């Protein structure tokens, strides 16, 4: 398969082979109950309750919820409702850590117990979520009863700042491989394929050596060319099989399951040691951080705490906090968020480099078309969306867009292409206006001390400017859409009336004729 | 830590390459051609270039002021257009040619269509064709005998009569034979064109396809002896490398580009071989292809993968 996308310059600010560190846990955790897209879990603890590390604090509700476990031992001191790092509003449980370090573990599964059913149950119980698109609970991929041929472990690290996957593979090679083999057992796949790019060769070599030692013939290694995007499971499945599943469908339908390195490691821990998923390896990097490295960060650690421990430079005025990669991450409005299980990169940088240029007219160069991994006619879509022709956008296939941002990256006219695409997709799906647009903070119960370190303000003026220049006014759009549907309805009604009138005339004529006869 | 957090939509970084850099690269690539033109044809050529570029700049500024009520030059595209207009005019032409040409290109064929990115026709080619129509007898005589070579016809006029010996290939290659200012020196055009392609500033598909069909038509029409003289004269290579690849008026998609190049090469060859159109032929061919470009885009619409079927 020819890979499409853009070549990004790797910005490995983190020294290669510097390993993985544990981040010292904070005094207060603020654990988001919703780590990925899915149904909101139901809280299982109340204020004042004592929790251990690994004890259950939320249970799934609805079809696709997930379990949430406490990252530390301590006491629940508050429950708040605010935005999580992915921009979804959900409840957060505030836990005050104590020094007792009690742990509550599940019982490990031994070799006899490792049947697919048991493993699936353990995966469900472990509370793992994916840290790649689409952000979903990890077990969701395995629910379809399909014939799985290949289990792909995505180690490509397509984001220029990301290096946590390599670090995990280099330091915890056997755990990762064992985890992958357990997952293979779970989905009964024929083979495991680890995919790398040319940019992380050292991790590939250490993995290759390990596999050679194991002598497992079903584990293969593939090297992709180093183009962005590679973080989307549907796209990886397409490169592997030549078939693309539609948005919302699962790659298991075409016999491929894509997993991340973190999931392998967490699954290994959950099965062999009984530890539920409460931490993730995250690259903390960016120009304004001091100790750039890959850290294991516990679920619910406030970002302000991370930045305090990592250290920030103070000489810049305008900072940016990007959660989840420079290419497709979310720039945060406040420091009042906590690291969730979907994290892989946290970038703290100054805005100097990334100040958005003004849009200039499109020069029709076709670079966006060549960059788009799903072969959309991005330029025509851009025209259609600026003219508010969402029907045309739909016809051109806007819902195939995977929100990668390659088109915006490559455009010489600096047009806000990817931003428009995702907006149009929301309009086509009828999702506009449902997501919260600013951070609402509601204290439900108890107190929240994680907000102490938050001294940053948000430059709302700038947000408004960028948003308004990037996208046409939402209200106006909705109005146009409504009008259009209204017009269509009216036209339909008019046509119906005409038809009826005609029919009535015919009937009358017939009756007349009949009467004459 | 009492500073501010900036929020922008993803992606938070863009490729350090902008429209202006693209335009600037084209200007740089045109420089050797322009310099060789000045060396070969003398000061008149230099004045033509200066006046054309200056007028383009001023016209662009004034037109923008007229439309937007603001004095701002946002892009360098007027520079490129101005330079191109000078380079496709005959070296001995009177200086008001440059003024009229840049007015036509900037105001009529670019500004009136809606500015950069909206023009359907390549402004330079359109201006050149209109100029040729306005002063048809004049242009013909001007092309014959440039600079110090009085009473010598333009190379293409000899070739089209079947006389391949009176102009040496060497003089064509280095631009000492009479012709338009920029289109004469094949050497500079080839070097700059290939460099532009190597840095992927222009697309290589279109010129390659154009060359292929052009050579084929000339070969079929006039035999193999005519290929090199026809290729090296009359500005075909200049148009193929610098004007055909103009992103604004060429198709978007790869297949569209391919067919665009093929059609252009065939038309240019036909106009030379069968319709004896002289220097203007390639520009007319280019304009016809410009008009075809949106159609080609429509035909070769890319098929998105993973699209939801309703
Ligand atoms: S249109 Fe969508 S899928 Fe295509 S490059 Fe842009 S963001 Fe990526
Ligand atoms: S990359 Fe930008 S300038 Fe080029 S065609 Fe696409 S939108 Fe237009």
Give residue B259's pLDDT.
95
**Model confidence at A174: pLDDT above 80:** yes
HEC letters along A33-99: CCCCCCCCCEECCCCCCEECECCEEEECCCCCCCCEECCCCEEEEEEEEEECCCCCEEEEEEEEECC
Q: How far apart are CA B299 and CA A360, in angstroms?
A: 27
Give residue B68's pLDDT.
80
pLDDT band of B152, cuts 50, 70, 90: very low
pLDDT band of B2, cuts 50, 70, 90: very low
Q: What percent of chain A has pLDDT over 90?
A: 22
- Put simply, the answer to whether A375 touches B302 (Cβ < 8 Å) is yes
Give residue A425's pLDDT.
87
Peptide bond into A229 cis (omega under 30): yes
Q: Is A286 helix (H, G, I), strand (E, B) or coil?
A: coil
- Give strand pairing partners of B5: A319, A458
Whether B17 contacts chain A with CB within 8 A: yes
Q: How far apart are CA A203 and CA A194, in angstroms?
A: 11
Task: Please provide the DSSP assignment of B145-191 as one string.
Answer: S-TT-TT---HHHHHHTT--SSS-HHHHHHT-SSSBTTTS-HHHHHH
List the CATH code of the domain at B19-299: 1.10.3430
Q: Which of left, alpha, beta for A156 (phi over 0: left; psi -120 to 50: alpha)?
A: alpha
Of A347 and A508, more confident = A347
Residues 6+ apart with CB under 8 A from B279: B132, B139, B143, B154, B156, B179, B180, B234, B235
Whether B197 contacts chain A with CB within 8 A: no
DSSP summary character for residue A444: E
Listed by start position, the domains of chain A span: 283-353, 367-428
In short, whether A411's Cβ falls inside 6 Å of ligand 1 is no
* Burial bucket for residue B147 (CB in 10 Å: 0-12, 13-18, 19+): middle
* Burial bucket for residue A406 (CB in 10 Å: 0-12, 13-18, 19+): buried
- Put simply, the answer to whether A375 touches B253 (Cβ < 8 Å) is no
In short, whether A368's Cβ falls inside 6 Å of ligand 2 is yes
CA distances from A501 to A411, A498, A512, B63, B219 (A): 55, 5, 16, 56, 69
Whether pTM exceeds 0.80: yes
Give residue A259's pLDDT.
92
Q: Of A286, A8, A257, A306, which is closest to residue A136 (Cα–Cα)?
A: A257
- Put simply, the answer to whether A327 touches B10 (Cβ < 8 Å) is yes
| From A369, A372, A375, mutation site for ligand 1 pocket: most ligand atoms within 8 A of C-beta | A372
Our measurement of the distance from residue B227's CA atom to the centroid of its chain's CA atoms, rounded to an integer in Å, reads 21
Closest ligand 2 atom, residue A363 Cα: 3
Q: Of B174, B155, B140, which is closest to residue B280 (Cα–Cα)?
A: B140
Strands (E), A146-190: 150-154
CA distances from B59 to A134, A310, B106 (A): 52, 56, 7
Residue A414 with chain B: CB contacts under 8 Å = 14, 18
Q: How far apart are CA B160 and CA B282, in angstroms?
A: 14
| From A6, A328, A406, A428, mutation site for ligand 1 pocket: most ligand atoms within 8 A of C-beta | A406
CA distances from A250 to A47, A237, A262, B188 (A): 39, 10, 20, 55
**Least confident range of A153-167, A190-204, A305-319, A473-487:** A473-487
Q: Which of A246, A334, A354 minimises the CB distance to B12? A: A354
State both tokens at A437: 């647009």
Whether B204 contacts chain A with CB within 8 A: no
**Ligand 1 center–CA A3 separation, angstroms:** 14
B187 phi and psi angles, rounded to 5 deg: -55, -55
HEC letters along A321-355: EEECCCCCCEECCCCCCECCCCCCEEEEEECCCCC
- Put simply, the answer to whether A459 touches B6 (Cβ < 8 Å) is yes
Q: What is the mean predicted confidence (pLDDT) over A376-382? A: 92
Closest ligand 2 atom, residue A371 Cα: 1
**Ligand 2 center–CA A509 separation, angstroms:** 61
Whole-complex ipTM: 0.86
What pLDDT digit, counting tens, does each position of A201-234 carry? 888 999 999 999 998 889 999 999 888 888 888 8
Whether A320 contacts chain B with CB within 8 A: yes
Least Cα separation, residue B195 to chain A (angstroms): 18
Q: Which of B11, B116, B306 minimises the CB distance to A245? A: B306
CA distances from A122 to A109, A256, B166 (A): 9, 21, 88
Give residue A426's pLDDT.
83
Q: CA A284, A165, A155 angle in degrees (round to 5)?
A: 140
What pLDDT digit, counting tens, does each position of A418-467 carry? 888 988 888 888 776 555 444 556 666 666 665 544 444 444 444 444 44
Q: How far apart are CA B233 and CA B245, in angstroms?
A: 19
Calculated CA dihedral for residues A491, A496, A497, A502, nearest 10 degrees: 130
**Ligand 1 center–CA A247 separation, angstroms:** 13
**Model confidence at B150: pLDDT above 90:** no
- Give strand pairing partners of A74: A51, A97
Any alpha helices (H) in B166-308, and if so which ranges? 169-174, 186-198, 205-222, 227-232, 236-238, 254-273, 280-299
- Put simply, the answer to whether B8 touches A369 (Cβ < 8 Å) is no
Q: Which of A327, A329, A459 minimises the CB distance to B5? A: A459
Q: Which of A312, A331, A456 minimises the CB distance to B8? A: A331
What pLDDT digit, counting tens, does each position of A56-85 carry? 998 887 777 788 999 999 999 988 888 888
Q: Of A364, A438, A230, A194, which is closest to residue B117 (Cα–Cα)?
A: A364
Closest ligand 2 atom, residue A378 Cα: 6
């Amino acid at each position: 398969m020819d890979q499409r996308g853009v070549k990004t310059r790797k910005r490995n600010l983190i020294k290669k082979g510097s390993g993985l560190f544990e981040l010292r846990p904070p005094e207060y955790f603020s654990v988001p109950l919703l780590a990925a897209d899915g149904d909101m879990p139901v809280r299982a603890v109340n204020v004042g309750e004592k929790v251990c590390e690994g004890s259950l604090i939320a249970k799934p509700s609805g079809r696709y919820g997930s379990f949430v476990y406490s990252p530390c031992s301590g006491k629940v001191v508050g429950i708040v409702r605010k935005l999580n790092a992915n921009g979804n509003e959900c409840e957060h449980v505030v836990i005050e850590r104590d020094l007792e370090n009690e742990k509550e573990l599940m019982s490990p599964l031994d070799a006899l117990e490792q049947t697919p059913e048991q493993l699936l149950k353990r995966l469900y119980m472990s509370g793992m979520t994916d840290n790649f698109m689409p952000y979903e609970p990890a077990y969701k991929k395995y629910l379809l009863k399909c014939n799985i041929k290949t289990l792909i472990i995505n180690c490509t690290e397509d984001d220029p700042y990301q290096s946590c996957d390599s670090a995990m593979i280099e330091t915890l090679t056997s755990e990762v491989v064992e985890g992958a083999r357990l997952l293979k057992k779970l989905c009964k796949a024929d083979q495991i394929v680890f995919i790398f790019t040319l940019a992380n060769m050292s991790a590939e070599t250490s993995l290759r050596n390990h596999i050679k030692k194991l002598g497992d013939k079903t584990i293969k290694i593939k090297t992709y060319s180093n183009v962005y995007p590679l973080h989307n499971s549907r796209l990886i499945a397409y490169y592997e099989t030549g078939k693309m599943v539609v948005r919302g469908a699962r790659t298991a339908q075409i016999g491929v399951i894509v997993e991340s390195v973190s999931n392998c490691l967490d699954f290994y821990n959950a099965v062999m040691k009984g530890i539920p998923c409460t931490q993730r390896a995250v690259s903390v990097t960016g120009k304004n951080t001091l100790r750039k490295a890959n850290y294991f960060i516990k679920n619910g650690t406030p970002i302000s705490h991370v930045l305090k421990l990592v250290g920030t430079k103070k000489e810049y005025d305008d900072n940016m906090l990007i959660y989840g990669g420079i290419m497709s991450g979310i720039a945060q409005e406040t420091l009042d968020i906590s690291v969730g299980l979907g994290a892989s990169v946290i970038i703290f940088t100054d805005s100097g480099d990334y100040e958005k240029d003004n849009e200039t007219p499109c020069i029709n160069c076709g670079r966006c078309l060549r960059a788009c991994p799903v072969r959309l006619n991005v330029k025509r879509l851009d025209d259609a969306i600026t003219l508010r022709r969402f029907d045309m956008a739909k016809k051109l296939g806007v819902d195939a867009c995977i929100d990668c941002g390659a088109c915006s990256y490559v455009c010489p006219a600096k047009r806000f292409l990817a931003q428009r695409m995702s907006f149009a997709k929301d309009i086509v799906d009828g999702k506009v206006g449902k997501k919260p647009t600013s951070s609402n903070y509601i204290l439900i119960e108890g107190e929240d001390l994680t907000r102490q370190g938050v001294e940053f303000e948000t430059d709302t003026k700038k947000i408004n400017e960028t948003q308004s220049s990037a996208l046409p006014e939402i209200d106006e759009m909705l109005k146009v859409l409504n009008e259009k549907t209204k017009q269509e309805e009216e036209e339909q009604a008019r046509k119906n009336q005409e038809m009826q009138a005609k029919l009535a005339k015919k009937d009358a004529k017939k009756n007349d004729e009949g009467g004459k006869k | 830590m009492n500073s501010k957090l900036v929020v922008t939509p993803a992606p938070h970084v863009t490729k350090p390459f902008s429209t202006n850099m693209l335009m600037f690269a084209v200007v740089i690539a045109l420089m050797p051609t322009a310099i060789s033109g000045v060396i070969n044809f003398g000061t008149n050529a230099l004045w033509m270039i200066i006046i054309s570029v200056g007028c383009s700049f001023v016209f662009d500024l004034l037109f923008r002021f007229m439309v937007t009520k603001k004095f701002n030059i946002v892009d360098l595209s007027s520079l490129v257009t101005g330079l191109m207009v000078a380079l496709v005019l005959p070296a001995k032409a009177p200086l008001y040619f440059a003024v009229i040409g840049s007015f036509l290109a900037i105001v009529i064929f670019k500004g009136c269509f809606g500015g950069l990115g909206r023009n359907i026709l390549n402004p330079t080619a359109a201006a050149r064709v209109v100029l040729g129509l306005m002063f048809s007898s004049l242009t013909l005589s001007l092309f014959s005998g440039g600079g110090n070579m009085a009473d010598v016809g333009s190379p293409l006029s000899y070739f089209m009569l079947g006389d391949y010996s009176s102009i040496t290939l060497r003089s064509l290659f280095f631009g000492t034979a009479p012709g338009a200012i920029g289109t004469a020196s094949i050497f500079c055009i080839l070097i700059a064109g290939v460099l532009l392609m190597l840095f992927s500033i222009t697309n290589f598909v279109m010129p390659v396809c154009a060359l292929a069909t052009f050579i084929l038509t000339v070969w079929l029409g006039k035999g193999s002896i005519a290929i090199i003289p026809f290729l090296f004269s009359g500005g075909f290579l200049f148009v193929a490398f610098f004007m055909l690849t103009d992103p604004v008026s060429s198709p978007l998609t790869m297949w569209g580009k391919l067919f665009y190049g093929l059609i252009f090469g065939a038309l240019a060859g036909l106009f030379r071989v069968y319709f004896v159109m002289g220097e203007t032929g390639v520009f007319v061919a280019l304009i016809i292809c410009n008009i075809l470009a949106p159609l080609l885009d429509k035909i070769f619409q890319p098929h998105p993968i993973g699209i939801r079927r309703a």
